[in-house]
Amino acid sequence: MSFWDKAKKFLNPFQQSKGNSWEGPHYNFNGWANTPFFGIKNQDLTTNEEVFSVVTRLANTVSSLPLHEYKKYQQTTTPVSGLLTVEPNPSMTAFQLLNQLETSRNVDGNGYLWIERDSYGTPQHLWPIDPKTVVVKRDIDTGNIWYQVSSDTYNFLVFNTEIIHVKHISPLSDFVGISPLDVLSSSLKFARTVEEFSMNEMDKKDAYIIQYDRSVGQEKRQALMDDFRRMIKENGGAILQEQGFKIDRYESRFQPGDLQTVSNITKQRIANAFNVPLSFLDNGNSNNAKSSESIMTQFVEMTLIPIIKQYESEFNRKLLTQNQRARGYYFKFNINGLMRGDTASRTQMYQMMIRNGIATPNELRRLEDLPETKEKNADKLWFSKDLALLEEADKINDPTSAKQEPQLKGGDNPNDNNQEDKGKDAQLSDRKAGGDNQQRSRYVH
């Protein structure tokens, strides 16, 4: 090794090179060698278009939603929020982390993140964990939940606040979620069987029965068979029937409509298991913008809100301390971006709520994840007339509440003489004004 090569190695000891083994000077992946990364569930994910489509849509939607940390409805930024928005660990981005977490939740029924903390208990990194290496245990004395992780990378037993666990539904007697692919196992197996049968039927060629007289010799019969095969291969199935031979053709009776029926049933079952609109698997059902908006509204309300509510609950409980939660800190996804196609309806509803005294402007700003305004009337209820404070509604509608001047008669008011003097002064001022106008008129002419 030359002097300059030694100098380069000294200045930059971590050189990138092509790895030919599972172990190197700065890494050791022997635990991954000869490991089947794709099991039965991953096989369904990689071989079934409908399952892949639904899982991809859910994972991309959740990982693309804006996620912020708030303090009393005011957006804030802390090192912990950076783990969920920028870099959860030195090897991943926040998008990759949430995408893999949601994919594991939909494929295995459970998604796990290990919270790596410093000596003060503050979260430092978030690491995804393979669901197959996690065992959920319950302490029979206290009833607390513990997580045991056993893999080539991690091997520990931690309390439930150290693992972020998102899952599909689970019964009361169990603590892990039910995988949708386990629910769909029979349907997916039936669909694969029908598909394989259909492929075999489509690959089958037409069958023929050849009848000939006994008088036909062996050589002529063999020559006819060779010529028969050549005609089928070269002429697309067209054959010539010679004298002394009778040929009957039996065509394939495969009906592609049966395959379409099975496909539609499978799509419906997949949509039901993952709780998504059927149109996500059959784009032909949404032909106009109005139906697309209603479908997106259904997806947000019935599918997405329960999912992100689970994420928010896990983040708030396990990434924030009790003191932080008491001071108003919380994590929240913003799903309003998915409803932008229905902005007109949302704006109309907000106007109705304000004009009828149902909500204050600041309350509606919270719904839109906007900071509250400090205007003094932003926390008051209004009603339409048009517009006035709700607390002044009785005064406006009561005709007797307006101030009225008393009707006075001559002799009743001790200041009548003053009123007469004021009247005379007014007449004099009018005459003077008239004289001035006449002078201006003469001056103009």
Output the pLDDT for position 91.
Answer: 93
Output the pLDDT for position 326.
Answer: 95
173 lies in a domain?
yes
Tell me what percent of the residues of the chain surpass a pLDDT of 70. 64
312 and 233 within one domain: no
**pLDDT range class, residue 59, cuts 50, 70, 90:** very high
322 and 189 within one domain: no
170 lies in a domain?
yes
173 and 54 within one domain: yes
378 and 311 within one domain: yes
- Higher-pLDDT residue of 26, 219: 219
pLDDT single digits (tens) 365-385? 877 778 888 888 888 998 776
150 lies in a domain?
yes
378 lies in a domain?
yes
* Residues 37, 294: Cα–Cα separation, whole Å: 39
194 and 281 within one domain: yes
199 and 216 within one domain: no
* Residues 83, 97: Cα–Cα separation, whole Å: 10
Mean pLDDT score of the chain: 77
* Residues 146, 158: Cα–Cα separation, whole Å: 6
**pLDDT range class, residue 177, cuts 50, 70, 90:** very high
Radius of gyration of the chain, Cα coordinates, nearest whole angstrom: 41
Output the pLDDT for position 386.
Answer: 64
Output the pLDDT for position 63.
Answer: 94
124 lies in a domain?
yes
Output the pLDDT for position 154.
Answer: 87
φ, ψ for residue 72, nearest 5 deg: 50, 55
244 and 178 within one domain: no
* Residues 12, 310: Cα–Cα separation, whole Å: 45
- Higher-pLDDT residue of 386, 65: 65
412 lies in a domain?
no
Task: Identify the domain boundary among 228, 251, 274.
Answer: 251
**pLDDT range class, residue 318, cuts 50, 70, 90:** very high
34 lies in a domain?
no
* Residues 406, 297: Cα–Cα separation, whole Å: 62
180 and 196 within one domain: yes
Question: How many structural domains compose the chain?
Answer: 3
pLDDT single digits (tens) 122-157? 999 999 999 999 999 998 888 899 999 998 888 999
- Position 36 pLDDT exceeds 50: no
pLDDT single digits (tens) 271-302? 999 999 988 887 555 555 557 778 888 899 89
265 and 363 within one domain: no
Mean pLDDT of 254-261: 70
Name the E strands within 8-132.
23-24, 27-28, 67-71, 74-76, 110-117, 123-129
Output the pLDDT for position 305.
Answer: 94
Output the pLDDT for position 294.
Answer: 81
pLDDT single digits (tens) 388-433? 676 776 776 666 655 555 555 555 555 555 555 555 555 545 555 5
Output the pLDDT for position 14.
Answer: 40
φ, ψ for residue 129, nearest 5 deg: -125, 140
By mean pLDDT, which of 34-38, 79-83, 225-229, 344-348 is the weakest?
34-38
60 and 174 within one domain: yes
Output the pLDDT for position 18.
Answer: 38
50 lies in a domain?
yes
Model confidence, pTM: 0.66
Residue-wise over 128-144: b if at least 16 C-beta within 10 A, else e? bbebeebebeeeeeeee
**pLDDT range class, residue 225, cuts 50, 70, 90:** confident
116 and 264 within one domain: yes
- Position 12 pLDDT exceeds 60: no
Output the pLDDT for position 283.
Answer: 59
Mean pLDDT of 222-228: 76
297 and 286 within one domain: no
- Higher-pLDDT residue of 205, 4: 205
Task: Identify the domain boundary among 265, 290, 315.
Answer: 290
Output the pLDDT for position 350.
Answer: 87
Domain that holds residue 319: 291-394
Output the pLDDT for position 442.
Answer: 43
Q: What is the DSSP letter of 287?
A: -
